Structure 1
Amino acid sequence: MSKQKNHGYKKSAGKQSPKNKPSGQQRPAPQGRKNSKAGGGKKPVIAEVTCSGLTNEGKGIIQWDGKNLEVEHLLPGETAEVAVSTKGRHTTTELKRVIQPSSDRVEPPCVYFYECGGCQLQHMTNQAQAGFKQKTVDALMKPFGKPQAMLTMEHPYAYRNKSHTTFGMNRDRQIIGGLYARNSHEIIPMDRCLIHDPKADEIAGTIKGIMKSTKLRPYNEDTGDGFLRHVLIKVGKTSGEIMVVLVAASPVFPGKNNFVKALRKAHPEITTLVHNVNNKDTSMVLGDDEKVLFGPGTITDTLGGMEFVISAKSFYQVNPVQTEKLYDKAMEMADLTGKETVIDAYCGVGTIGLIAAKKAGRVIGVEMNNDAVRDAIRNAKRNGVKNARFYQGDAGKFMVEMAERGENADVVMMDPPRKGSDEAFLSSVVKLQPERIVYVSCNPETQVRDLEYLEKNGYNVEEIQPVDMFPQTVHVEAVTKLVRTQKAGTR
């Protein structure tokens, strides 16, 4: 990653450039974000330290007073001045000045990098990011074999097809829109997030302007007053279709017609607009109720040569370029010949299951979310897939019932949430005894736990492929192939 300028960013009104930007040699470093909830206590000690490595969260590791401490934005091999504060048994650190920078360090192209926390690795070259993620997966997966080389992204910015902007008021009673600061509900006003689709951020900026001109107030979490909470935008990277979801605290939309007219005039490229109602005190972005203001209420996009319908609540991979690589590898691991029965657990809107159907005998998709199942069925019809069936329910119970009826499956494909799978689900996979399991994970740490269970119950890990689905962040995905080595049965 070369050093870049601000990519069209405008500094937020009333805000200066970030105060906690680590300095290079000779320049004093501004105040960094502390690495513990506790702070204060005795006067900080300024220590000159050397970074010995990185945590899985990308924080630098230093040794001080016999302790291993974490320092944000410090890279291996760097020497730096760090402020170390103690309060009781709690210790916090703050990067003050980089004395000897690493060759892996670059100037983050995003002016909000040190405030936002949404990206953690922009201060590292692309090569260093890939190396860090590779080492993380290699260390986690060591008990199961050596992972393949990371599948990286050639252009690792502007990749997200889904973004959401939160709106609020600043101290000057001006409307602001942006992202939350890390571990807080403090909104960082921003015009552009470099991993978002640029058009999505442009539309969010227009909405902020329309709110000001129409006197539409943002929602206040503390008082419960106001209307607009978030704006969720989904972009079909292939189709070019755009969905805008206005997440509001009330079903009553003041000045709705004027708002919609102004937005459509400014952005005729928007193909559908949805009013979603979330009037609950929750960290969830979307509420249960929604009304389509114009358009079909969905967009379409193409993945793996198939067209998928995406609704506001649909789960759809946010990085389609890397998803193609991920799914290609998953299909290779599934080793389908046209005769197999495939279970697509956690099937969502049916993406991986419908792609598998092109090479399988039949596909059975199971998903708890009824809206997603409805989308999956619609997507099967849209693509003329006749050998796939989708069911609403618990995939684990579904597989147990299959096994009890004497039915079998040759391949189970699973893509669980970050928390991984529970033992009840994994035991149901074991009872069904598929020949192969293809496990797609967005959290290799929980995947390791699940692989240990499967290896103890008759399966062997044959291949591990990490994929950088989220450049500039610490997150990494891994797809793993397991093969049955004996008659499986829980021990």
Structure 2
Amino acid sequence: MTSEKKFKNNKKNYKAKSAGKSLCPVHGKCGGCQLLDMPYEQQLKKKQTQVAKLLKPYCQVEKIIGMDDPFHYRNKVHAVFGHKKDGTVISGIYQEGTHFIVPVDECLIEDQRADAIIRDIRGLLKSFKIKTYNEDTGYGLFRHVLIRTGYHSGQIMVVLVLGSPILPSKNNFVKALRKLHPEITTIVLNVNGQKTSMILGEKETVLYGKGYIEDELCGKTFRISSKSFYQVNPVQTEKLYGKAIELAGLTGKERVIDAYCGIGTIGLIASDKAKEVISVELNSDAVRDAIANAKRNGIKNVRFYNNDAGVFMRQMADAGESADVVFMDPPRSGSDEKFLSSVITLHPKKIVYVSCDPTTLARDLKYLTKHGYKARRVIPVDMFPATEHCETVVLLSQQKPDDTIEIDLDLDELDATSAELKATYQEIKDYVLKEFGLKVSNLYISQVKRKCGIEVGENYNLPKSENARVPQCPKEKEEAIKAALKYFAMI
């Protein structure tokens, strides 16, 4: 049955599920496709409801963007290899939460070409008498296969992950695999000799082809290596990134930062509409791919930095630099408070947050909206049909006076001004102690505020008599207080 027919008959299949049948013979065993047997429209409603509930305090959630055909969308496929007690070679995926291999011949969300290659590699292992790796004993050679496919280019990379660098009859094995699948454009041998849950090791050798593939995304060509981060659903990625750049509202005059840039996708796609793009990534392999991608596309207004994005933005702010838009696309765990504080310190006009977990997104929005930003638009995009995961893109911009709710406060009684309400004296003290290990007094804080042009209560922390000697804030503490004022967007 074609994927199109499967999609059209999804409702019918859902009824069959209630009779004990499923679209997938291992559904419920592998744990990968929790919603596979739910009609697709219901999947979308479920995700829409989840995102709307989590993000209700921050912004109204727009309609989720779904797929026309929610099958066989994954362009990155991983299979773990093992064997039964009788020696039969098996391949599949780990059962959720375990290292028990669930044999899989065809997965309904994976690229079908990849599944066919994995099945034939399984047969070649038997022919070439190559032993699969045993996690318990540490013996054996063949551990995993990773396949990456180009949606538009049709290029295919096969990564053979072994426990040691020696593949018996290497040339003949490669020749036999290419004879079965001439569509393969490169084959890489990756060595992972560690007892680890990580799939790939550090050392790699190219057995055939260039060692990478290329694919097109939003009109740009990208080089993808074995370790590159690249979204697994190319159809939906174009919609997701298109929305992210649309929300940024670029006019050609902006300075843009692409934090967590990976191989440079968002920044390079946005480069046509921005004056300048600064892309930052900690992974040096990804940075090399990103630079190659910029050259491949003839893009000259993007600069790449191999650095921690949070540290980099704080350095920019300290140097008096600024940015108009920050794109951030963190891992599923979201961003930590240290990174978010660096965004606040840099104080861009807009933040475009691309999230793959609405729960951690809600947590991060709570922080950002407490520190001078307001969520303007929220758009869910279904990047992972049949699973419970959902991608979301959010536009935040600096809070404006008309975004606030007016309430009556007697500032004389509070002995504070509207500017002071951005952060209390205690919050400033706590920040200085945490970041610099210094204790500062209310007196020192008010002195620094006055120096920075922040209005302080008329009689606040002034001496009680004209002859009283007032200690002056030491230089070290003054700088620490100024850093706190910047952090809380008060200067």
Deviations along 1:344-363, one digit per CA (max 9) or x if unpaired, are 00000000000010100000
Residue 312 (structure 2) pairs with residue 392 (structure 1): no
Q: 1:241 aligns with which of 137, 140, 155?
A: 155
Match of 2:164 among 250, 262, 284: 250
Listed one character per residue, the Cα deviations across residues 108-167 of structure 1 (whole Å, up to 9, x for unaligned) are: 321211222110001210011001000000000010121100000010001000001110
1:411 to 315, 325, 336: 325
Deviations 1:321-379, CA, capped at 9 Å, x for gaps: 00011011101111100010000000000000000101000000000000000000000
Equivalence map 1:342-421=2 (5 Å): 342-421=256-335
Verify the 8 A CA contact 1:273 1:297 in the aligned structure 2.
Answer: yes
1:477 partnered with 2:391: yes
The C-alpha deviation readout for 1:167-192, integer Å capped at 9, x for no partner, is 00112211001111121111111210
Which has more radius of gyration?
Answer: 2
CA displacement 1:429-456 (0-9 Å, x = unmatched): 0111100000000011111111111111
- Take 2:18 and 2:365, find their aligned partners in 1: how far apart are those partners? 43
1:23 is displaced (CA, Å) by: 6.8
Tell me how far apart the structure 1 counterparts of residues 362 and 487 of structure 2 sit (CA, whole Å): 18
Q: Higher helix fraction: Structure 1 or Structure 2?
A: 2
- Determine whether 1:225 maps to 2:144: no
SS in 2 for 1:313: coil
Q: Are the equivalent residues in 1 in contact too, given 2:267–2:277 (CA < 8 A)?
A: yes
Distance 2:189 2:18 in 1: 47
Q: Is 2:10–2:40's contact at 8 Å kept on the other side of the alignment? A: no
How many angstroms does 1:304 deviate by? 0.5
Q: 1:23 to 1:293 in 2, by over 3 A?
A: closer
Distance 1:318 1:267 in 2: 22
In 2: Cα distance, 1:190 partner to 1:337 partner: 49
The answer for the alignment partner of 1:108 in structure 2 is 22
Q: Does 1:336 align with 2:235?
A: no
2:364 to 419, 437, 450: 450
Contact 1:458/1:489 (<8 A) preserved: no
Classify 1:257/1:353 alpha carbon distance in 2 versus 1 (closer, same or farther; 3 Å). same
Structure 2 residue 85 is the aligned partner of structure 1 residue 175: no
In structure 1, distance between residues paired with 2:8 and 2:296: 43
Partner of 1:186: 100
Amino acid aligned to 1:377 = I
Q: How does 1:29-428 map to 2 (within 5 A)?
A: 108-428=22-342
Measure, in 2, the Cα distance between the counterparts of 1:357 and 1:319: 22
Asked if the contact 1:3–1:109 (Cα under 8 Å) also holds between the matched residues in 2, the reply is no
CA RMSD of aligned residues (A): 1.8
SS in 1 for 2:377: strand
Tell me how far apart the structure 2 counterparts of residues 475 and 283 of structure 1 sit (CA, whole Å): 22
Normalising to structure 2: TM-score of the pair? Answer: 0.79
**Aligned-pair distance for 1:489?**
4.6
Alpha-carbon deviations, 1:190-236, whole Å to 9, x = none? 21011110000000011000000010111110111111110000000
Which amino acid is 1:475 matched to? Answer: H
CA distance in 1, matches of 2:96, 2:224: 29
Aligned partners of 2:98 and 2:217: how far apart in 1? 35
Structure 1 unaligned residues grouped into runs of 5+: 8-20, 30-106
How many residues were matched structurally? 397
| TM-score for both structures, normalised by structure 1 | 0.79
**Contact map agreement 1:419 1:446 (CA 8 A) in 2:** yes
Q: Percent identity?
A: 57
Q: Which amino acid in structure 2 is aligned with residue 233 of structure 1?
A: I
